[in-house]
Amino acid sequence: MSDCCSSCNSAGGEKSSENLLWALRLEKWTLLWMVVESIASICAGMAANSLLLAAFGADSVIELLSACLLYFRLRQEYLGKLEIGRIDTLERRTSGLAGYLLYALSAVVVIEAAWGLMHRHEAETSILGLFIAVVAAFGMPVLAKAKMRAADLIGSPALRADAMETFTCGYLSWVLLAGLAANALLHWWWIDSAASLVIVPLLLKEAREAVTGQCGCR
């Protein structure tokens, strides 16, 4: 078993088929929403010239890829087709890849924000973006808590790390909502670029934890 959050396995480590099935269902909901969130955010960002929305959508794509691999891993375990050693190897590789993608995303966000501030880039109001932000802001914390519970029941550090990503998605949604609302109400040209930089420390934290194998539950 990976060293990542080994203490997470102490609470409810029995991997019953019912618990694994519950975890799979939670990941299905994650996959479904991340598809909607990523496509809608990126399209809305392009339509409104919003760096904040585009960055949020790109982060959703990365979370979608991570959820796909985790779903595959949980399904294989549920069907009894994956040995423990292979599970650990897949978790480490998935986590590392996601971490490096997040580092790349952080660099892109900084570059785009700097460009927007230098060129006085102003985003337009996006109703679709506001809707996505509201749904994610209220829905992601609920989903994350359910994942935390499922992770404890099956003793999965990978699922717990995925739950922390979902929590982060919810937090980013509030940042996104605040930025979009401020832009719609106050029309500050710099708010979109400046608000997008708030995401960067969170992305870097996720990236570091993913690459080093620390799932953030300490």
Average pLDDT across each block of 10 residues of the chain; the chain has 218 residues. List them in order.
44 64 92 93 86 80 82 80 68 74 79 75 76 91 92 81 81 79 76 75 81 61
Query: Does residue 1 form part of some domain?
Result: no
pTM: 0.70
Range of the domain at 173: 15-205
Query: Does residue 8 form part of some domain?
Result: no
Query: Does residue 152 form part of some domain?
Result: yes
| Exposure class string for 150-180: b at 16+ Cβ within 10 A, else e | bbbbbbbbbbbbbbbbbbbbbbbbbbbbbbb
Given this model, what pLDDT does residue 149 score?
92
Tell me how many domains the chain contains: 1
Query: Does residue 71 form part of some domain?
Result: yes
Given this model, what pLDDT does residue 94 score?
67
- CA neighbor of 76 nearest in space, from 62, 88, 64, 65: 88
6: Cβ–Cβ under 8 A, 6 or more apart, which residues? 157
Query: Does residue 86 form part of some domain?
Result: yes
